[in-house]
Amino acid sequence: MKIGFVSLGCSKNLVDTEKLIGIFKTNEYEIVNEPKEAEAIVINTCGFIESAKEEAINTILEMAEYKKKKCKYLIVMGCLVERYKEELEKALPEVDLFVKYSEYNSLWKQIEKLFKENKNLEKYNNFDDVEERVVSTGNNFAYLKIADGCSNRCTYCAIPYIRGPQISRKKEDIIKEAQKLAKQDYKELILIAQDTTKYGTDIYGKPMLTKLLKEICKIDGIKWIRFLYAYPETITDELIQLVKNEDKICKYFDIPIQHISDTVLKRMNRQSDGRSIRSLIQKLRKEIPEVVIRTTLMVGFPGETKEDFAELCEFVKEAKFDKLGCFAYSKEDGTPAARIKEQIHPMTKKSRYNKIMSLQQEISKENLQKQIGREVEILVEDKLFDGKTYIGRTYMDVPDIDGVVYLNTNEDLQIGSFVKGKVIDVSNYDLICEKN
C-alpha cells in the first residue's frame, strides 16, 4: 500500500511523523510524496492556537478530496485530535481513524485494525521507544527531541493540557540516537523540547541539558549542535560557559521571553521578570560577543495596557534582538487566560503585532549590516537555477525560522559542505555573500 503524510505544527510534531514514516517503511509500505498517489493519507495535526486549528481543518478537508480518487483511508492524529476528538468524529465523517496524542502507544495497532492486517508487532506498543525514523528535513540537519510535554503552566498555553507534563527521555537513548544520526552523515543536530533548559528535572531531579550537550559534543561527524526554546530562568552560568567554549555548539540562544512588563509576565505565570530578562541578555552579550539571540513575543495578552505595550516596544528598540518572532494572543479553551475578562480587541492585537514586526525589521537589517565585510562559515544547502547562486546558512540561522545566505560563486560546490564566504550585502533578514 502507498502511504502519504502531512505533518503540521512544530518540529516536535515532525519528529513523531518521521517515526511513523519509519514504522511504515520498515514494514514494507511505500511512502509517496504526492497525495494523489496515496492509498492512505496520514495527517499529524497541531492544536496549539486558533490559526493552527484552522490550518488543520482545512488540510483534512483538502486531503479528504483524494478519497474520491485513489485514497481509501484517511487517518488524522496529533494535538488537535487530543483536544477535540469527539467533535471531529461528528464533524468529519470522511476521516476513517482519529488517534489522540495520548493514544500513540496503540497507534500502530489501530492502523493495522483499520487496514485489516495483523502483524502483532508489539515492539510498537511504546511509541517513545520507536527507533525507526525517516528524517524528512533533507540531508544536512535533523531534529533531536529530548523531552515532550511541559510543566511550566503558563496561563495562555494549552500544551500541558494536550501533551501533559514534561517527560524527558533518558540521556542514554538520546546519545544513541545522536550517534545514529551522525553515522547517517547529518552535520547539524537541533535539540528540541517545549523547554530544553529544564531537560532532565523530571527524571534526574535536576536540569541535565549541559551534561547532555557535553556528551553529544564527543560524537564524531557532527559539526553544529544547537538547542531551541531555552527559558530565561533556567539558563545557567554553566550552560553559558559551555556554549562559549565548545566549538561544536552554535553561539545561538533561542529564548522565548513573551513580554517585558512585569504586570503582564505575572498574569502569564512566567517565572522571569523584566529585570532578570534584561540582566540575562547583558550577560550573554558580555560573555559571548558573537552570540545570536532570538526571542518570541506575545502581544494582546488579556489586560495588556497601552503602557505595557509601550514598554515592550521600547525594550525591543533597546535590546536589538538578532532574531525576533511575534504572535498575537490566541484565546485557548481550558486555559486560565481565556477566563480573564480584559480580553483585547482583535484589531488592537493585529495593530500591536504589526508595530513590533515593523520595529524588528529595521533592527534586523541594522544588525545584519554589521556583518558586511566579515568572513562567515556557510553550510551549503541548495542551488538556484542560475547555476551561480547557492543558498545556505550560518550558525546564526535556524532552518525554516531565520534568514538564509545567498552565496555567489563560479565554483561547483557540494551540497552539505561548509565553505567560507565574505558578506557583501544584506536584505532585511538575509545575507548576500561571495565565496572567498
Contacts of 13 by beta carbon, 8 Å cutoff, 6+ apart: 7, 44, 46, 78, 79
CATH number, domain at 102?
A: 3.40.50.12160
Same domain, 295 and 175: yes
Cβ neighbours around 25 below 10 Å, total: 15
Is 184 contained in some domain?
yes
Same domain, 257 and 119: no
Is 353 contained in some domain?
yes
Q: Give the single-character DSSP code of 184.
A: T
Same domain, 167 and 250: yes
Collapsed DSSP state (helix, strand, coil) of residue 372:
coil
Same domain, 7 and 102: yes
Is 289 contained in some domain?
yes
Same domain, 230 and 342: yes
Same domain, 365 and 427: no
Same domain, 279 and 301: yes
Q: What is the pLDDT of residues 82-119, one digit of tens each?
A: 999 999 999 999 999 999 999 999 999 999 999 987 77
Same domain, 232 and 329: yes
Domain boundary among 129, 163, 193: 129
Query: Which pLDDT score is estimated for 125?
Result: 86
CATH number, domain at 417?
A: 2.40.50.140
In the chain, which residues have pLDDT < 50? none
Same domain, 27 and 89: yes
Same domain, 381 and 318: no
Is 136 contained in some domain?
no
Residue 178 contacts residue 172 (beta carbons within 8 Å)? no
Domain boundary among 129, 161, 182: 129
Alpha helices (runs of H) in 334-381, residue ranges in sequence order: 346-369
Q: pTM value?
A: 0.94
Query: Which pLDDT score is estimated for 120?
Result: 64
Residue 234 contacts residue 196 (beta carbons within 8 Å)? no
Is 87 contained in some domain?
yes
Cell numbers for 410 = 563560479
CA distance 376 to 423: 7
Residue 72 contacts residue 42 (beta carbons within 8 Å)? no
Same domain, 148 and 201: yes
* Residue 322 lies in domain: 141-369
Contacts of 102 by beta carbon, 8 Å cutoff, 6+ apart: 82, 164
Q: What is the pLDDT of residues 259-285, one digit of tens each?
A: 999 999 999 999 999 999 999 999 999
Query: Which pLDDT score is estimated for 356?
Result: 98
- 77, 78, 79, 80: CA torsion to nearest 10: -20
Is 363 contained in some domain?
yes
Same domain, 102 and 163: no
Number of domains in the chain: 3
Q: Give the single-character DSSP code of 401.
A: T
CATH number, domain at 360?
A: 3.80.30.20
Is 135 contained in some domain?
no
Is 134 contained in some domain?
no
Domain boundary among 98, 129, 160: 129
